[in-house]
Amino acid sequence: MKGAPLRIGRHENQIHLGESSDEGTDKYVGAITKLIPGEVVAGYLTGKSLLQSGGQGETPGIGSWIGWTLFCLAVVIGLRRWMTSDKTVAVPPQWSAVTISALSFLIWVYSFGDVFQMLGWWTKWSSGLVLIGWTLSAPLFMLGLEKVFRE
C-alpha cells in the first residue's frame, strides 16, 4: 500500500519525500482517530447481531463468540500491519500502532460485554470507564511503545 495511511507520524524513509512530521496536538488527535479500528468494530457488530439472532432454534455457544472475537482481532492486526507499512519506500509496519489498535479493539469488545460477560469478566460500570479511559490515553501509551519498538 502506498503511503501507509494509518501510520501515526512519518517514518524516516517518508520524510525525504517532502512529507513533514506531525507534531503536538495534531499528532494526538490523529492518533486517537487512527488507533480505533472502526472498520473491524463495525464488522464485529454485524457478526454479533448474527450470533445473537442465531439460526432456527440454534443458540451459539461461547466457542462461537470466542472464535468470532479472535477472527476479528486477527483482521485488526493484519489490516493495521498492512496499512501502517509501505513496501515501495521500505517503510516497515508501525508495530506500536498495530498493538494499540489490537488492544483498542479488545477494549471495545469488552465494552459491549459479549464474550467477556459469558466468561464472567465483565461489569457494566467497569466497561464504560475502561472504554473512556483507554480512548483518551491510548496515544500516550503509543508514545511509550514507539520507544520499545524503536520506531
Q: SS3 sequence, the chain?
A: CCCCCCCCCCCHHHHCCCCCCCCHHHHHHHHHHHHCCHHHHHHHHHHHHHHHHCCCCCCCCHHHHHHHHHHHHHHHHHHHHHHCCEHHHCECCCHHHHHHHHHHHHHHHHHHCHHHHHCCCCCHHHHHHHHHHHHHHHHHHHHHHHHHHCC
pTM: 0.81
pLDDT tens digits, the chain, 151 residues: what are they? 567 777 877 777 766 555 455 555 667 777 778 888 999 999 999 999 999 887 666 778 899 999 999 999 999 999 999 999 999 999 999 999 999 999 999 999 999 999 999 999 999 999 999 999 998 899 888 888 888 888 8
